[in-house]
Amino acid sequence: MSRILMIVSLCAMFLGMGCESHKERKEEKSKYLVTSPLRKDTLVTNQYVAQIQSIRNIEVRTQERGYLEDIYVDEGQFVKKGQLMFKIMPKLYKAELQRAEAEAHFAQIEYENTKQLADSNVVAPNELAMAKAKFEKAKAEQSLAQVHLEFTDIRAPFDGIVDRLHLKLGSLVEEGELLTSLSDNSDMWVYYNVPEAEYLDYQQAVHEDDTTKVELLMANNQVYKHDGYVQTIEGEFNNETGNIAFRASFPNPEGLLRHGETGSVLTQVPFNNSLLIPQKATFEVLSKHYVYVVNEDHKIESREISLAGELPHIYAISDGISEDDTILLEGLRKVREGDEIEYDFEDPQEVLNHLELYAE
């Protein structure tokens, strides 16, 4: 009987130990991690949707009517300034030039003969003037015929890359018809729209001789290896959007960027003595941002905050909390307004250091 009682006592003891162990684990799980906002100097990166354009992008069009006799380039080909790209059938214009040359030569002979007679006082000075005017007119028509003939050779006006060819060999082309486009991609112009408030901040912060450096985030989410510089700002705001267009220039020595690409311009704005918190410590309700503040009684209170800027995984706060507040860092979905919690405090600098490492 005593042996049975001993076994029962041992079972009860082990069972009690197991319950206590389970209770301790449960209590440990119910603890939450909290921290405080950190005040420090930092840089906030602003991101703007951008359109990338060549510094020169033109349409190559015909200046004469005729048949497309030769095509000397291909799509995507790099051409040098003055390189022959297309030829419009020149026979008609050659014939016109020959006729104009003959008429100019005839007018020259007539003028020279009249001049000899005028020098001998055989003809009146007015007749000499008429002969000279006729000769000058013939020379002008010859020059015009020469220009028309030269227009049948279409050459590159600058170094660039040929776009799509719109017509095939042998096509009948009209005056002004589009043949292709040509892009000078040695440097690229990147346009992005800036809200009015940020434009005013920029104008007040930048001196006349300063150049603002920016970065380009490409469509593959990679940062372009060369920095760009803000060159100019458009003269008027868009009344519909309230934005104004900035233009930054980026070098393009490898030819990676092409006309018509998209991306995002990244600008860094210094935030001095800024209040920083982890983004994961916030939640949104109807486009407003909130945090859970833990009061002196260990109870949860929601508080609306105003954002001053955004970094990777971090928010800069302009209003709503102070560095003396304790905010809930994890488990936001597990608590409700007014809940009393147990927590462990983590140093805010360590929290942000961990986020910065994670962001890299």
Q: What single-letter amino acid sits at 18?
A: G
Work out the number of other CB atoms within 10 angstroms of the CB of residue 222. Answer: 10
Quote the pLDDT of residue 108.
Answer: 84
Asked whether the domain spanning 64-175 has the same topology as the one spanning 47-55+184-270, the reply is: no
**Domain segments of the chain: what residues?**
32-42+272-356, 47-55+184-270, 64-175
Quote the pLDDT of residue 52.
Answer: 96
Q: How many helices (H) and strands (E) does the chain have?
A: 5, 19
Distance of CA 142 to the CA centre of its chain: 50
Q: How far apart are CA 148 and CA 166, in angstroms?
A: 23
What residues of the chain score a pLDDT lower than 70?
1-30, 207-210, 356-360
Distances (CA, A) of 179 to 7, 159, 160: 100, 17, 15
- pTM over 0.85, yes/no: no
Fold of the domain built from segment(s) 32-42+272-356 = 2.40.420
Q: SS in 3 state form for 37-78?
A: CEEEEEEEEEEEEEEEEEEEEEEEECCCCEEEEEECCCCCCE
Which SS3 state, helix, strand or coil, does residue 234 take? coil
CATH architecture of the domain 47-55+184-270 equals Beta Barrel (2.40)
Query: Is domain 64-175 given the CATH code 1.10.287.470 in the classification?
Result: yes
- Give the helix/strand (H/E) hosting 13: helix 2-29
